[in-house]
Amino acid sequence: MFAAVATVPTLWLIGFFIVPLGIVWLYSFGTNASLTEIEISGTFSNYSRALDPLYLGILWKSILVAAATTVICIVVGFPVALAIVFSSNKWKPWLLLAIMLPFWTNLLIRTYALIAVLRREGYANQSLGWLHDNLGGLLPLVGLPAPGAYEPLELLYNNFAVIFGLVYVHLPFMVLPLYAALDRLDKSLIEASLDLGAGHFRTLLAIVAPLAAPGIISGVIITFVPALGAYLTPDLLGGPDSQMIANVIERQFKRANDWPFGAALSFILMYATFIAIAFQAMKSRQAEARQ
């Protein structure tokens, strides 16, 4: 019975995932024989070229941006997940729906909406300009000089815009695993901690966070990995100095027509991701063994 059910998904996985991935992996050991042909020669020159300081610097910057995105998602998502857990049964489904609502809209549309918010004439600068003009007019009333004309902030086409966009896109991926872990939490432990004199912050760090560790680990993985390989957000929101490794890979396949080098960069990113996941799994097993 299991074999009959698993046959079709297994064939689909092999035919449309493993085989194409294997072909791209073989490309990483090849060279361009012509504009349309790739010769699989077994060379490691593409991998050695990928270790050039220029590309390593871009990869390292991508890791830092993905890490910053993950940390911000944890800081923002943990209180949100906690608030949903402790909300009433009437409001909990609606709050979860609000978290999942962005999935109903295409990523490209959401990214262009962010451009409308962050550009110089966008809603963010318009709101800040309104606050500047209205609240700034109150300063002479308290003996302070009136501020000058409002200068719009450069909120777009820089690293800030990239991280802001990545947090906006990946925040639901952090909130949902955290909610799943916190919802199974024994709330009597929190009450006992508070009754014994621990404050809310200490209870959060000493009781809630360790018990929610599986959700935190899951959220970190499914946030960090997609953010590391993000292409659309840095391409549309970032500037010349804000490109990530996925944008470099895209240029190799499209503009430079250097598929072997693009394949090598892709698999270096994949190797790094597998190593990070394996390291996290090893740490999780060690933590479970100590408990």
- Lowest average pLDDT, out of 163-167, 182-186, 241-245, goes to 182-186
Q: What percent of the chain has pLDDT over 70?
A: 93
Beta-sheet pairing, 38-40 with 30-32: antiparallel
The answer for residues whose C-beta is within 8 angstroms of residue 73's C-beta and 6 or more apart is 167, 170, 171, 173, 174, 219, 223
Determine the Cα–Cα distance for residues 234 and 238; give it in Å rounded to an integer. 5
Mean pLDDT of 101-129: 90
Domains defined along the chain, listed by start: 44-119+155-290 (1.10.3720.10)
pTM of the model: 0.87
CB distance 268 to 59 below 8 Å: yes
Under DSSP, the state recorded for 144 is P
Coil, strand or helix at 39: strand
pLDDT at 164: 96
- Examine the pLDDT at 67 and tell me if it is beyond 70: yes
Of 267, 219, 265, nearest in space to 243 by CA? 265
Q: 242: which residues sit within 8 A by CB, 6+ positions away?
A: 157, 158, 159, 161, 162, 234
Instruction: Show the CA angle centred on residue 221, arms to residues 216 and 226, nearest 5°.
Output: 135
